[in-house]
Chains A and B, each alone.
Chain A
């Protein structure tokens, strides 16, 4: 079995700041991480591989520095890493990104075996569109299942996969034929800690680097800025909502903690009753 997992290197959103004067997002110097959703996808893919055999290839499109993310994925236990990097890809929107990735997946199929499954994250934490997974599926003519929280079952003989898909009001259990594309939600799994062998292998591994041409792109006008009809007019930070905080001072001769608790209880009468009951219980 061959599984391709698409991962994206994103800025650690916990550490992004907005420039106080220009109101633009400051990306410079912000540490990068693997998009968190993609880690759930990678773990789920590796679990399938561990159980049923085969290989996991991780794929990313990004600047040369995205190699760090791929090496990390190898440390977790992926078998192979492909970096799609070319200045022609710069400025890609979701249409151009899914075009480039779909082309590369086709090439990966030709080079290392046609994938039975393609995993993506539901969305990224920087672009946030959730369009790339579906875009790839459409271009490759794959069945797509989005919002997946768990792989429930896999039948290699019948070539089917059963997935739990979170939907409004409940969970759908869906069975799909292979090949298909799965876009993972935050899942029930947790990315494993790679073994020492994997860490050594990852430190040594050659990451496969493909330019647009290497990946088999023929129509360059579908790549990068040229191939991107989306135009970003402005990025800005919404103004902070002004909900006035209440300033509580210790009453004359009293105690600040008591005053604070009295204020909380005044707003949440149930809380007082619950806590009192709880305290009696002890």
Chain B
């Protein structure tokens, strides 16, 4: 056994773990952070968009030396069929502000930088070390961890579980259930390298400006899922994800979908001539509010993806991860500074602070969304995109059909595909879930 005892052990060095370790170390707590990857970032997959506001709350001047790719000035939403897309595009020079709001990043680099800040703040960071078990006392209180290195247990007043979406440790210790296949999406992603000028030309950018494209429709073959294209400085990330339960029931493989997405006539020209250097796959928690497990207990708190804190509708995850990490750290610090023990009751402060934050408010707002999209996936991801694109084609094609006739045709196509009741029902359910 290792004699030394820490104030806190953080399991995992992703966004949530780094935010927690940094915040606690800054406050003077004695922190040990354990990461199974070779370095922080080596195991982490994200699109990836960084939300500056949440990062600023942790490291206000992060822009000074963090590895940022491009700041986003344009967002495109595409509703796709097999050979067309209807898009909504928002671009604004306002986003070329002094302190931009969103950036693309490459996690392997960003996390490495974040981890260097965690070390500077005074936490002890040990990589290539997998936590294999939570050590509990006779009453079930978590008192430390065991790792895959020899030398036994390490003890701490509190263990911060920031182990990511699969959350095996928490599950093994009986603190939570394994996420259901309907609650997690499997995403695959490729990095396509292209010269900087080519990217800027293809996406109409200059300097460090960047674009995000989010796409849904027939690309997911009726499953609940979305595709994305993000511009980095010298590469484009292209990816796509669908619910694991949908992959299970359809038997479609993720890479087939990605291949199809990449060869779509709207996507292929953006990637032409690129060199693929990286292929990654990762789960995303998408169960929303209703899937959130118990967040604290005697001697432990859980943060980030491990706590299912992910807003799938807005594709936000890392910001919820880092914010929950920060909030948990602040709660631990408050309990510690009152010299109180890390009991479930005292740590419930974390949940209270989380409830007051945007995290729980946002997740609560969309609590019915995951189920709606899942049950109605055929309609939302196949039928409607096809109808909308057909309507656009009808509207734009000039072929001598009277306009009134065209409108009628369009309307008819919607009704015959979904019936009036279906259309109103969908609109009503969507509006209610969105409210």
Which residues of A approach B to under 8 Å, CB–CB? 75, 193-197, 199-200, 203-204
Contact = CB atoms under 8 A, between A and B. Distances in A.
Nearest to B146: A196
Contact of B2 (A75, A193, A200, A203): A200
Contacts of B32: 200
B4 A195 contact: no
Nearest to B152: A196
A36 to B, nearest CB: 16
Contacts of B149: 193-196, 199
Interface of B: 2, 4, 32, 124-126, 128-129, 147-152, 154
A200 to B, nearest CB: 7
A263 B216 CA distance: 48
Contacts of B148: 193
Contacts of B150: 193, 195-196
B151 A203 contact: no
25 contacts: A75-B128, A193-B148, A193-B150, A194-B149, A195-B149, A195-B150, A196-B2, A196-B129, A196-B147, A196-B149, A196-B150, A196-B151, A196-B152, A196-B154, A197-B151, A199-B126, A199-B128, A199-B129, A199-B149, A200-B4, A200-B32, A200-B126, A203-B124, A203-B125, A203-B126
Contacts of A193: 148-150
Given A200-B2, A200-B4, A195 B126 contact: no
A199 B4 CA distance: 13
Most B CB within 10 A of own CB, among A193, A195, A203, A204:
A203
Contacts of B152: 196
Contacts of B154: 196
Contacts of B124: 200, 203-204
Contacts of A203: 124-126
A199 B124 CA distance: 10
Most B CB within 10 A of own CB, among A193, A195, A196, A199:
A196
Contacts of A197: 2, 151
Given A193-B148, A195-B151, A200-B124, 11 more contacts: A194-B149, A196-B2, A196-B147, A196-B151, A196-B154, A199-B126, A199-B128, A199-B149, A200-B126, A203-B126, A204-B124
Nearest to B275: A20
A199 B150 CA distance: 10
A203 B39 CA distance: 13
A176 B43 CA distance: 47
Contacts of A195: 149-151
Contacts of B128: 75, 199
A75 B124 CA distance: 13
B383 to A, nearest CB: 40
Nearest to B148: A193
Contacts of B129: 196, 199
Nearest to A193: B149
Nearest to B1: A196
For the complex of A and B, the 5 pairs showing the least CB-CB separation, nearest first, are A196-B151, A195-B151, A196-B149, A195-B150, A199-B126
B34 to A, nearest CB: 9
